[in-house]
Amino acid sequence: MKYNLLFSFLFVFLSSIMYSQNSNSDIKVGDVFVVGEVSNNNYKHIAFPRANFIIKKGGLANYKNVKGEKVQIKSIKEKNNGDVVATIELASKKKFFNSHKYVKVNINEAILQKELLRN
C-alpha cells in the first residue's frame, strides 16, 4: 500500500513537470499575431521605442496606429534565463510609428498579458 501511494505521487509529480516544460513550442517564425490594447499605452513586454527616439527618427509617437495591427514573427531567440524573445515586424511590411522596422518582444509574457493576441 505504501509503495503504491509513493508510486502514484511520483507519477503525478513527474507528469506535471513534463507538461510544464516548454509550452511555446507551437510558436515559430512566420506566425501572425495582433497587437492588443492595454491601458495607458503601457506595453511592458513589447519593447516599443520611447517617444523621443521615435520623433528623432522622424516618426509619430501615436500608439493608436499600432493597436490592432497584425505583426509577424521574424526571429526567435531563447535567453539564458529561459525567456523567449522574438523580433516582430508589421505584417504589412510598413514601419512601426513610421520609424522602426523591427521591435523585440518577450513572447511568453506578451501573450499572457494580452499585449499580443493570436490571429
CA distance 92 to 89: 8
Which set of grid coordinates corresponds to residue 74?
521574424
pTM value?
0.74
Q: What is the pLDDT of residue 35?
A: 96
Residue 74 is which amino acid?
Answer: K
Specify the pairing of strand 70-78 against strand 84-90: antiparallel
Statement: residue 12 has pLDDT above 90: no
Each residue's pLDDT tens digit, 25-62: 588 999 999 999 998 889 999 999 999 999 999 999 99
Integer-rounded Cα radius of gyration of the chain: 19
Q: What is the pLDDT of residue 13?
A: 74
Statement: residue 4 has pLDDT above 70: yes
Residues near 68 by Cβ (< 8 Å), separated by ≥ 6? 34, 35, 37
Each residue's pLDDT tens digit, 62-89: 989 999 999 999 999 999 998 999 999 9
Statement: residue 1 has pLDDT above 60: yes
Q: What is the pLDDT of residue 100?
A: 95
Which set of grid coordinates corresponds to residue 60?
509619430
CA distance 75 to 104: 9
Domain boundaries, the chain: 24-118
CA distance 81 to 107: 14
With CA atoms as reference, report the closest residue to 35 among 100, 115, 106: 115
CA distance 56 to 61: 10
Say which residue, 22 or 15, is predicted with more confidence.
15
